[in-house]
């Protein structure tokens, strides 16, 4: 019970707008592409009721974005600067330089928006108070989708993008079928779940992870870290964390 109350308080804090828009009294919520205006704070269940019965929504991939919080956009800019800086440390014909250049091009094309760390489910919001937070004045985007049939690969892969999701497919099997760059890490990958969790999973013979991938997951294949520096390792974790805030193509 205490953990639920702590979670509810955390969500309420996250829902507070972080810019000057917070001074306004209007609550604006975009449900997919339709925007609704409210003159008072409203709970998640009430907002979702406007669209919950209008489609066969796959709730694990539902996400809420705070459109008045620029954290994700700022972090994307900072990561691009960091990648550029790291590229100056390697020869242009080296595998690491090419991996960094490839990563820069990928991240530069990402559309990101600051995602609020909260579960989104119409039924659960109606049943459990701690999963039915109050939306305070500000601008939000709730994105709902049907059940996806792809997994999104990025990082040190030859062809980043969406790959067909196969039922009963383990992390190892899914990663093994995607062609990776020469400088890809062969021990671990980062899994970004549809709910926004980042998990490090093993793909080497000594740490194989046979857990299953959810449809709509992201797989970030990190660049192999250097022996005497942790800069690439830190960059990999930072990019994986940014992937939580990606607005994935439908």
Task: Give residue 4's pLDDT.
Answer: 45
> Please, are residues 156 and 96 in contact by the beta-carbon 8 Å criterion?
no
Task: Give residue 208's pLDDT.
Answer: 86
Rounded average pLDDT over 16-24: 46
pLDDT digits (tens, 9 = 90+) for 72-93: 999 999 999 999 999 999 999 9
Residues of the chain with CATH 3.10.20: 2-68+114-143
Phi, psi for 178 (deg, rounded to 5): -100, 130
Task: Give residue 24's pLDDT.
Answer: 59
Of 73, 46, 42, the C-alpha closest to 247 is 73
Considering the chain, what percentage of its residues have pLDDT values greater than 70?
90
CATH architecture of 71-113+148-243: Roll (3.10)
Residue 143 has pLDDT above 90, yes or no: yes
pLDDT digits (tens, 9 = 90+) for 93-139: 999 999 999 999 999 999 999 999 999 999 999 999 999 999 999 99
Residue 18 has pLDDT above 60, yes or no: no
Residue 212: DSSP 8-state = B
Residue 20 has pLDDT above 70, yes or no: no
Q: How far is CA 155 from the centre of its chain?
A: 14
Rounded average pLDDT over 196-203: 96
Considering the chain, what percentage of its residues have pLDDT values greater than 90?
81
Quick one: angle between helices 231-243 and 71-87, nearest 10?
150
pLDDT digits (tens, 9 = 90+) for 162-188: 999 988 888 989 999 999 999 999 999
**E strand or H helix at 193, and its extent?**
none
Of 184, 147, 157, 189, the C-alpha closest to 172 is 189
128 burial type by CB count under 10 A (0-12 exposed, 13-18 middle, 19+ buried) = middle
Task: Give residue 158's pLDDT.
Answer: 96
Rounded average pLDDT over 221-240: 95
> Please, are residues 218 and 192 in contact by the beta-carbon 8 Å criterion?
yes
Rounded to whole angstroms, how far apart are CA atoms 156 and 183? 7
Q: Which of the listed CATH numbers 3.10.20, 3.30.379, 1.10.3470, 3.30.390 matches domain 2-68+114-143?
A: 3.10.20
Q: pTM for this one? A: 0.88
Residues of the chain with CATH 3.10.560.10: 71-113+148-243
């Amino acid at each position: 019970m205490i953990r639920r109350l702590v979670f509810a308080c955390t969500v309420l804090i996250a829902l507070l707008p972080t810019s000057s828009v917070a001074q306004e009294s209007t609550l604006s919520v975009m449900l997919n592409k339709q925007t609704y205006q409210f003159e008072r704070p409203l709970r998640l269940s009430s907002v979702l009721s406007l669209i919950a019965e209008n489609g066969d929504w796959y709730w694990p991939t539902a996400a809420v974005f705070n459109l008045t919080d620029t954290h994700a956009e700022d972090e994307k800019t900072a990561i691009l600067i960091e990648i550029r800086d790291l590229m100056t440390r390697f020869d242009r014909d080296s595998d690491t330089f090419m991996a960094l250049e490839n990563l820069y091009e990928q991240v530069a094309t990402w559309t990101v928006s600051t995602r609020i760390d909260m579960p989104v489910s119409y039924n659960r919001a109606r049943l459990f108070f701690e999963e039915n937070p109050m939306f305070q004045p500000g601008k939000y985007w709730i994105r709902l989708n049907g059940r996806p049939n792809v997994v999104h690969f990025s990082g040190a892969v030859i062809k980043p993008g969406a790959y067909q999701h196969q039922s009963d497919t383990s992390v190892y099997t899914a990663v093994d079928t995607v062609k990776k760059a020469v400088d890809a890490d062969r021990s671990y990958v980062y899994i970004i779940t549809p709910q926004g969790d980042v998990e490090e999973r093993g793909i080497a013979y000594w740490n194989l992870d046979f857990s299953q991938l959810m449809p709509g997951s992201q797989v970030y294949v990190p660049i192999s870290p250097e022996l005497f520096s942790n800069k690439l390792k830190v960059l990999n974790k930072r990019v994986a964390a940014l992937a939580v805030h990606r607005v994935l193509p439908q």
